[in-house]
Structure 1
Amino acid sequence: HPGGEEVILEQGGGYSTEAFEDVGHSTDAREMMEKYLIGEVLEKEKKSSLTAVGPESKGAGASGNGGSWTGFIIPIGVLLAAYLIYKYVL
């Protein structure tokens, strides 16, 4: 994942479509997702795998807090860059 392994560890073992949409990915990120898409899970497999997923399957590095600070880095960086350009260039 281009955003770091933390995202994979937090979302692993579950559905992450809602989390993907909540972050507000750019058009470029959506195009990257299509490029790296391996396949889709069949509906019958989704149901059987959900019963087997538990907190222990989240991965050793998962914090379990449900949020990620990495989702704030890019927007803050963009805002900071815009401010600096406005202040020193314009």
Structure 2
Amino acid sequence: MTRLITAQEVAEHNTEESVWFIIKGKVYDATKFLDEHPGGAEVMIEQAGLDATIAFNDVGHSADAMEMLNDYYIGDLKKEESFVAPAKTIQPTKPAATSQKKLFLAIPPRVWDIVIPTSIGVCLFFAYKRLIQFQQIK
């Protein structure tokens, strides 16, 4: 007999210790698959406790991936349940460090493609002028 699971019960499994989600009305416990997921555990944890049908389909999983779902199937979503996504708590991010290294890396690479060669050219120009002045003094 197929186990019927409420949306509330799925919503309670929304941490990395217990990752349940819904895909096309079926409930899956993917907790043991977190370390093996090619897209990383974070992607699955984001969908934990939610209806992940759209996210799963948008990625374009292979036929093998869809078949693997059978290994993690635990039951069907109770039909009379209307699923309301629980509010996820968002952890505040730490402010970025303002060290010189961080600021250097924050500048887009295209800027460095212009700045570095230009700086080298300017340095060479002044070095050449200095050399000419030095030779005129002799």
TM-score between both structures, scaled by the size of structure 2: 0.34
Larger Rg: 1 or 2? Answer: 2
Between structures 1 and 2, the one with greater strand share:
2
